[in-house]
Amino acid sequence: MSCGVNIGFGFQRLLDAQQRFVRNAHPVYLRLRNFTPPTNSMYAQLGYVIQPTGEPTGTQDLEIMPRPAVRMISQHNIGMSQGKLRFGARSFIISATFVDKMNPGVDQSALEAFWRQPEIMGLVLDNQLFSIEQIAHEEFGGKTVLWTLDCNANETR
């Protein structure tokens, strides 16, 4: 291992400690489907809701630890997103420790695919489901140390 990667791990530990002790947000959960989503969406266009049979149904929530920092996205940035983000959108800053634990042994360059899995429905904060719209990551010393997810609130309280 090179010196750069070691400094990246050290910096990630500093970020984790800051997020653990400052407690930036209420608990945030990663919501996963317990079934594979159907490939044909014709039913949704017609207004029908389907129930998968012969396999587990429902969702599973995994708490993201250390707790992420959450901030509202400004109206300026919402306007600049060309309709991708809506009012109530939030930015979640998540430590790479969570992603590393979910994907042991995965190459650093392939970690962005984790957030694009079809099983991931979004993030849950204060009983609201947020869809993941934009994904960014930051590296330090050759290692991804944090993820910034810009998310829309698809539900109202």
CA angle centred on 11, ends 10 and 14, rounded to 5°: 95
Q: For 103, which DSSP code?
A: S
- Predicted confidence (pLDDT) per residue in 46-75, tens digit: 656 666 666 666 788 999 999 999 988 877
Full-model pTM: 0.78
In whole angstroms, what is the distance from residue 131 CA to residue 153 CA?
7
Under the banding of pLDDT at 50, 70 and 90, the label for residue 1 is very low
Distance CA 147, CA 92 (A): 8
Q: Hunting for tokens 């140390």 — which residue is that?
A: 145
Cα 120 to Cα 69: distance, rounded to the nearest angstrom: 20
pLDDT value of residue 147: 92
**What is the model's pLDDT at position 112?**
79
Specify the pLDDT at position 142: 81
Dihedral of alpha carbons 127, 132, 138, 143, sign: positive
Which of the four pLDDT bands, split at 50, 70 and 90, describes residue 12? confident
Nearest-angstrom CA–CA distance, 37 and 52: 9
If one compares 105 and 147, the residue with the highest pLDDT of the two is 147
What distances in angstroms separate CA 70 from CA 57, 82, 96, 101, one per listed residue? 30, 22, 15, 21
